[in-house]
């Protein structure tokens, strides 16, 4: 099955009140695990590469992994650039077969965020690639992007309609109380703010920082309009945790058994998140 745009998946999720889970990946093991889990659950998913992953693996490998998976995959999925800040990386992503890009201009002042995001949208839409924008700033550390709680600001619902209209984005990442990485306490989401944002725009809304949010809170966010849930840290913990345990228990000098253990651990986490998002079974009805 060929890759599809994230926008196509998110429109279906929005119409049917579920969220497409979007997973950060770093290597072959992650890609195989995410696609195997999605197939087992008959779910659409989004593979996300951050700028850190692109620095680690390089565009040709990132592209190669996703397109190798697409040759056999029986579910629709998108290849998405997560938190693109460098315009170079946006253009290279488009040239390397990504079907969706995020331009993260959340650190810029409002008008500048709009101006650069509009430029990205103009370029991406010419080649049918969808664009996610961000308004407000999500705290925490996502690879090399680190936003302190002090710098972070929640999305202002009053600015949403103007931002979406002037930029033309296909999806909007919102800051409503989640954070990248691990939470110190239980995250408290501002559902009133989410409802006000939902009223202000009809584009699909994206929740970042999907690790460590209680299941009931995720379900409520989806019922209020979240159509894409980003998850990264949970996969990294499953991957490295399973390897650490195996190495402690026995001496292993072949990476393959270790990587098999890691792949199984990631599959388990991905399947849980798919079901939490209500995306299981949706690949059968999406019509890709």
Q: How far is the CB of 177 from ligand 13P (least distance, A)?
A: 13
Q: How far is the CB of 198 from ligand 13P (least distance, A)?
A: 19
- Of 51 and 281, which has the nearer Cβ to ligand 13P? 51
- Of 118 and 180, which has the nearer Cβ to ligand 13P? 180
Q: By C-alpha distance, which of 167, 178, 163 is closest to 230?
A: 178
Question: What does each C-alpha distance from 60 to 5, 80, 89, 147, 152 come to in angstroms?
Answer: 19, 15, 13, 29, 34
Report, in angstroms and rounded to the nearest whole number, the Rg of the chain calculated over CA atoms.
18
Q: How far is the CB of 235 from ligand 13P (least distance, A)?
A: 8
Q: How far is the CB of 165 from ligand 13P (least distance, A)?
A: 24
261: which residues sit within 8 A by CB, 6+ positions away? 242, 243, 246
- E strand residue ranges, the chain: 20-24, 45-50, 77-84, 100-103, 130-135, 140-142, 145-147, 171-174, 205-207, 226-231
User: How many CB atoms within 10 Å of residue 130?
Assistant: 26
Residues of this chain, 72-91, that bind ligand 13P according to CB under 6 A: 82-83
- Contact between 170 and ligand 13P (CB under 6 A)? no
- Of 142 and 170, which has the nearer Cβ to ligand 13P? 142
- Of 93 and 211, which has the nearer Cβ to ligand 13P? 211
Q: By C-alpha distance, which of 77, 21, 66 is closest to 271?
A: 21
Q: Which residue has the tokens 């170079």?
A: 88
**Among positions 52, 97, 181, 187, the unique one binding ligand 13P when judged by CB under 6 A:** 181
Q: How far is the CB of 178 from ligand 13P (least distance, A)?
A: 7
- Active-site residue, 254 included: no
Residues of this chain, 13-52, that bind ligand 13P according to CB under 6 A: 24
Contact track, ligand 13P, 202-241, x by CB under 6 A:
------xxxx------------------xxxxx-------
204: which DSSP letter?
Answer: -
- Of 86 and 165, which has the nearer Cβ to ligand 13P? 86
**Among positions 30, 134, 142, 170, the unique one binding ligand 13P when judged by CB under 6 A:** 142
Q: What torsion, rounded to 10 degrees, do the Cα atoms 33, 5, 80, 60 define?
A: 80
The catalytically annotated residue of 82, 143, 170, 234 is: 82
Give the Cα-Cα-Cα angle 232, 229, 14 (nearest 5 degrees): 160
The residues carrying an active-site annotation are 82
Which residues contact ligand 13P by CB under 6 A?
24, 82-83, 142, 180-181, 208-211, 230-234
């Amino acid at each position: 099955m060929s890759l599809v745009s994230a926008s196509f998946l998110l429109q279906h999720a929005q119409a049917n009140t579920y969220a497409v889970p979007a997973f950060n990946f770093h290597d072959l093991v992650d890609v195989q695990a995410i696609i195997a889990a999605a197939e087992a659950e008959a779910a659409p998913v989004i593979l996300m590469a951050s700028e850190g992953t692109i620095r680690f693996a390089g565009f040709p490998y990132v592209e190669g992994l996703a397109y190798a998976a697409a040759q056999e995959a029986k579910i629709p999925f998108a290849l998405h650039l997560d938190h693109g800040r460098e315009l170079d990386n946006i253009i290279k992503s488009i040239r390397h077969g990504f079907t969706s890009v995020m331009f993260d201009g959340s650190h810029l002042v409002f008008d500048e965020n709009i101006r650069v995001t509009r430029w990205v949208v103009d370029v991406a839409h010419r080649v049918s690639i969808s664009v996610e924008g961000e308004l407000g700033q999500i705290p925490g550390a996502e690879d090399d992007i680190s936003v302190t709680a002090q710098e972070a600001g929640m999305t202002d619902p009053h600015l949403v309609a103007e931002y979406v209209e002037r930029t033309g984005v296909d999806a909007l990442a919102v800051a409503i109380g989640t954070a990248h990485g691990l939470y110190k306490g239980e995250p408290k989401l501002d559902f009133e703010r989410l409802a006000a944002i939902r009223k202000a725009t009809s584009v699909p809304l994206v929740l970042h920082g999907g690790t460590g949010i209680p299941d009931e809170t995720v379900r409520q966010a989806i019922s209020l309009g979240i159509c894409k849930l980003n998850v990264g840290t949970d996969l990294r913990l499953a991957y490295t945790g399973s390897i650490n345990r195996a190495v402690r228990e026995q001496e292993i000098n072949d990476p393959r058994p270790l990587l098999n253990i890691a792949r199984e651990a990631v599959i388990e986490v991905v399947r849980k998140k798919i079901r939490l998002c209500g995306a299981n079974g949706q690949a059968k009805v999406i019509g890709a």
